[in-house]
Amino acid sequence: MTSTVVYNGGLRTTCTHIQSGNFFETDAPVDNNGKGERISPTDTLATSLAACMITVMGIKARAMGFDLNDVKIDVLKIMKSEPRRVGGIELTFHIPEALRNLEEKSKIILKNTGDTCPVRFSIHPDIEVKIDWGHWA
């Protein structure tokens, strides 16, 4: 088993990772009857893409002899209706000064690694994914 999800009432859940015991709570977004006081399930889906990309990129960077500390990714989730669903995810990478001058080959390897993460392959092709690589563009 990977995790458990308990409905707490009031459109909120507690999601617990079995192996570590770590947990987070969700709340329905304001535009869907919630209070928006916690990350929503669809926010989690969009954020999972960024987390997966930077994780596999971090693994690759480590193998290449450096780390990606302080890389930040802004996530924008775009909802569609009829049916209500995630229609797009936009990621904007913020590359720290120390990593901006990597050789072009290393940047290409890292971007390709991120683009082929498991979550990216799991996202339905109808969900438009846009990536702004910032200083690595």
Our separate counts of H helices and E strands in the chain read 3, 6
Number of CB atoms found within 10 A of residue 49's CB: 23
* In contact, 91 and 73? CB cutoff 8 Å: yes
User: What was the pLDDT predicted at 38?
Assistant: 97
Q: Is the pLDDT of residue 8 over 90?
A: yes
pTM here is 0.94
Alpha carbon of residue 35 to chain centroid? 22
Q: From CA 80, how far away is CA 50, in angstroms rounded?
A: 20
What pLDDT is recorded for position 43? 97
**Half-sphere exposure of residue 136: CA atoms within 13 angstroms, side-chain side:** 26
pLDDT number for residue 76: 98
The stretch 22-44 carries a mean pLDDT of 96
pLDDT tens-digit readout, 40-98: 999 999 999 999 999 999 999 999 999 999 999 999 999 999 999 999 999 999 999 99
Residue 61's pLDDT is 98
Q: What pLDDT is recorded for position 100?
A: 93
